[in-house]
Chains A and B, each alone.
Chain A
């Protein structure tokens, strides 16, 4: 029983996250593997067929779930392990995969290691992304792309006091997309465009770690190259989004190659001095630079009905060096006291220019060369004291001070302007500061029970944005009772922020509450359940134009009451079959109104009223049966339902039935 209990707890824990129904969580009986020469080889595979049927808005299904039909290697693993730890070329090879064979979410992991000599890690991931985002830009910003990520890390002498690192990462995104453009002037029309996204980032890393004068020195040098070549075009002549508008577009082509590099340095230094102190520092510099050209030519009819032919040419470059330093001192004056102080400095300097010239019907306009500078310098210092008064009680308190300086310059040079105005490049500078204090209490009145209480109160002057933290307070409490196979937790959290000035006000409140329970009652039964509520209330002043009038004094209200519930139960029947049933329910109940508009709260405009709350329900029950048909072979089948249901509209609702059947085998 004792040996079995941890694995039961693992299963119970796995259930609480409500992962997709496949791959199967239930492992086959633990295999010992096969001994070949001085190695042990252990393998497992889960091969199956995944199916789905979806009704309603299948685009929204693809955006939120996206599992399809087909044969999949749902999961696999291979471990080749040296039994003596003295393999000739390697001591360990580990390969694990998930979703290979066209699942939208695929990953693979490879580790090859030779003790004390080298270690190589590869993580490969693929994510099929589809998003029509119907509520965004009329659904015209559609994306059907695939992102591939791979990270290679090679460590030489991994167990030594002197190590060398080599790394390479690659991040690509490609696929068709729809975007939009607005032409031919500020009062023109909007047109959908086709885009062929092609983005690629390569990063190379070289570093080392060594002991120096009692300190540990970590040095990393990296180069990150990015390029994007995403051409945009118009596939067919377009009337635009607003047919009443005379603006028409008959052709458009845009090319905008965008390339650059971001070399960086990182130096880390740290040391633990006996029992009483530890210091560490990290100093980084990233120099980012991008060069670009944009060539766009369009032809059509302008809003007055006249022929319009326009070419826009811009080119230039931008740079953003980021310098950051962190220095920490930790003191341990007694075994139960930790005092830490951190000072950090961060400087970002963004600058760029963009030569711009526009040709209207073949005639060039006056070229301009705008340039921008934005500098942000932040200095922070925080001190925290943690005292473990008794084994059952501990307190911590801290103070954080931040000072930020923002400097910006906008300027423009007008070539060919016979009477140029002032350059307008006077630097503008402002500062703001934040003071924050924290206080926390940790209680363990009896061994199975832990209670954590934390508070943070902050005051900022001159916040940069209306939604920024100004006067905020955050309180958090959490209690956990853990005894043998039973775990009960409850939490509550509030975050309040007000950022009001004389003519406008902003207030954001969030409150979260929740309870969770998991219980591995017996070898054959475990259950977990959870419920949480998230309440959001935000009220922010707005000012806008409607029908030519400036509307001020209104507010944007957003209320969300999200209830989340999950339940998972696992049964073992006759020591041969495992049954898992799970249910996930997420529902934003909104603010209780029956219709999207008509409340006339804070704004007279129906569009704002409709955006004040967005009730919807997203639920997903699932069930899985896994039967041990032989000692190391299982047959699995599962079903999962997804339902997406908006209360005020049905355009994006969908229902999807998904399932799979598979064989898992370990040997």
Chain B
């Protein structure tokens, strides 16, 4: 015990000439937390120490955990230091945003649904025990999201889905978990937390570039209501992630000629009388209307 006191005292004395009164420096912290210190050089936060140019309150352990002198004098304990496990969610957010608030992708974090629901940084990021190669994620990204979004996990278990479980697509390809600007390509506030493509368009177009157009003949549903008009973006029990098991019901639920709807407020184009729905050949609309997402040559999307 005496030895430990000596170490504490020496450690306190050594940096005290250079640091503000309440800050003891990270070298003191390593005395009692060697397991964290041993791998801390792998941590992105180590950059603040390596630079040697940051003020005490912005560097090393105390950059996040606050001044450590009281903690040292109390010989540890969560009451004498900023312990994130004890912090209220808004305080966690404030602490992290001191440094991490200065980027556009997190500009909306304070008004995001996650913050509103008290899901803050440490719910997804593990500063000292991360197992991900980037971003200090506590787990594989999809597992983090599934932890709360169980219904979404169920959708990705369906036979037709984007390959998130397989690791080739990630939730953040389409979503910004730090809060995003309201989707400008549709009405209402849903879907939320979308990461826009081409800075202001629907995120589906990031990968499905051929559907972007512009086309001479746009399928206006795609532009007005988005891909979700016909597809379930996470996963579906139906081929091609359609919302219906067959194409013709997908199409006819809109193309029924009912008044008031459509660009002319006179109904969505009704199918022609030459289409005999009793004949199976007319039940696969996209056999003829192959360019259903938009065409340059034909107003009925035939080529």
Contact = CB atoms under 8 A, between A and B. Distances in A.
Contact of B51 (A85, A456, A607): A85
Contact of B187 (A91, A378, A388, A618): A378
Contacts of B156: 17
9 contacts: A13-B144, A63-B239, A201-B209, A209-B103, A296-B303, A318-B296, A330-B110, A430-B264, A530-B153
A461 B47 CA distance: 55
Interface string B265-286: 1001011111111101101101
Contacts of B245: 135, 558, 611, 614
B263 A430 contact: yes
Interface in A57-102: 63-64, 77, 79, 81-86, 91, 94, 96, 98-99
A378 B183 CA distance: 11
A463 B261 contact: yes
Contact of B154 (A292, A340, A467, A562): A562
Which of B126, B272, B283 counts the most chain A CB atoms within 10 A?
Answer: B283
A378 B184 contact: yes
Contacts of B107: 268, 270, 280, 282, 328
B223 interface: yes
Which of B51, B101, B129, B154 counts the most chain A CB atoms within 10 A?
Answer: B154
Nearest to B220: A374
A265 B46 CA distance: 35
A364 interface: no
A171 B205 CA distance: 11
A386 interface: yes
Contacts of A374: 218, 220, 223, 263
Describe A's contact surface by its main secondary structure: strand
Contacts of A150: none
A607 B248 CA distance: 9
A84 B47 CA distance: 9
Contacts of A560: 237
Given A99-B167, A218-B104, A241 B287 contact: yes
A480 to B, nearest CB: 8
Interface of B: 35, 41-42, 46-47, 49-51, 88, 90, 97, 101-104, 107-108, 110-111, 116-118, 126, 129, 131, 133-134, 138-140, 142-144, 146-148, 150-151, 153-154, 156-160, 163, 165-169, 181-182, 184-185, 187-190, 196, 198-201, 206-207, 209-210, 212-218, 220-221, 223-225, 229, 237-240, 242, 244-249, 252-254, 256-265, 268, 270-278, 280-281, 283-284, 286-288, 290, 296-297, 299, 302-303
A464 B261 CA distance: 5
B247 A318 contact: no
B140 A17 contact: yes
Interface stretch (A47-55, A539-547, A571-579, A628-636): A539-547
Query: What range describes how many residues of A lie at the interface?
Result: 35 or more
Interface string A453-481: 00010101011111111000000001010
B270 A77 contact: no
B224 A406 contact: yes
Contacts of A220: 199
B52 to A, nearest CB: 9
Contacts of B247: 136-137
A502 B260 CA distance: 10
Report the 5 A-B pairs with minimum CB-CB distance, sorted nearest first: A85-B50, A320-B214, A352-B216, A614-B245, A346-B184
Contacts of B35: 3
Given A17-B142, A318-B215, A350-B223, A6 B287 contact: no
Given A13-B139, A125-B169, A282-B107, 18 more contacts: A3-B35, A84-B41, A111-B133, A121-B134, A135-B245, A135-B246, A136-B239, A218-B104, A318-B214, A326-B182, A330-B111, A370-B216, A386-B116, A436-B189, A462-B265, A467-B253, A530-B153, A618-B237
A388 B189 contact: no
A456 B287 CA distance: 40
Nearest to B245: A614
A370 B229 CA distance: 27
Given A186-B274, A501-B259, A286 B198 contact: yes
A121 B217 CA distance: 38
Contacts of B97: 272
Contacts of B303: 181, 254, 294, 296, 312
A131 B240 contact: yes
Interface stretch (A396-404, A415-423, A519-527, A658-666): A396-404
Contacts of A335: 90
A580 interface: no
Nearest to A141: B286
A255 interface: no
B15 to A, nearest CB: 18
B190 to A, nearest CB: 8
A404 B158 CA distance: 35
A348 B223 contact: yes
Contacts of B287: 137-138, 140-141, 180, 182, 190, 241
Nearest to A99: B167
Contact of B209 (A79, A199, A611): A199
B259 A502 contact: yes
A235 interface: no
Contacts of A332: 110
A414 interface: no
Contacts of A251: none
Contacts of B188: 400, 402, 434, 436, 458, 469
Contacts of A376: 223-224
B21 to A, nearest CB: 25
